[in-house]
Amino acid sequence: MGRLQLPLSGDVTQTINPWTWVFSPSQGGQVGLFNFSIDLGPSTNPAVEKDILSGVASYGKQLGRVEDALRLVLDTLEELVPERKLSNDKAVIAFKALMYEIDNVKAQHKGN
């Protein structure tokens, strides 16, 4: 589980210089006064992870694609193996419940 560091809750190394924010936006530092940093733990290759997150897809999008693929696999397996009731498996039940909750949240946000 990652840890969430709120402002002033841990090691704070931030230069407060409004002139830099206005005249040097290419430095890529903090733009707002309150930014949250979420540390997801150690990575074997942080540069690759950063490039994927900033240029390819966020964690949410990546998990969404895995979710879509796993739903397809489960639906296909249930049809191919009728003697094995996958819908009775605890892991499948928990997965489908989680996907149901996620679908509800997505539907609420589409309505807004």
Could you list the mean pLDDT of each consecutive 10-residue stretch along the chain, which spans 112 residues?
A: 62 58 50 56 82 88 92 88 81 91 90 72
The residue type at 110? K
Answer whether residue 47 is part of any domain: no
pLDDT score, position 69: 94
Q: What is the pTM of this model?
A: 0.55
Query: 106 and 66 share a domain?
Result: yes
Residue 54 lies in a domain: no
Closest by CA to 41, choosing from 54, 28, 57, 59, is 59
Residue 24 lies in a domain: yes
What is the reported pLDDT for 35? 55
29 and 71 co-located in one domain: no
**Which residue range forms the structural domain that includes residue 75?**
59-111
- Positive/negative CA dihedral, 6, 7, 11, 14: positive
Task: Look at residue 41 in the predicted model and tell me its pLDDT.
Answer: 67
Same structural domain, 70 and 101? yes
Do 64 and 37 lie in a common domain? Answer: no
Residue type, 65: R
Q: Is residue 34 part of a domain?
A: yes
Does residue 97 share a domain with residue 64?
A: yes
Q: Is residue 52 part of a domain?
A: no
The count of structural domains within the chain is 2
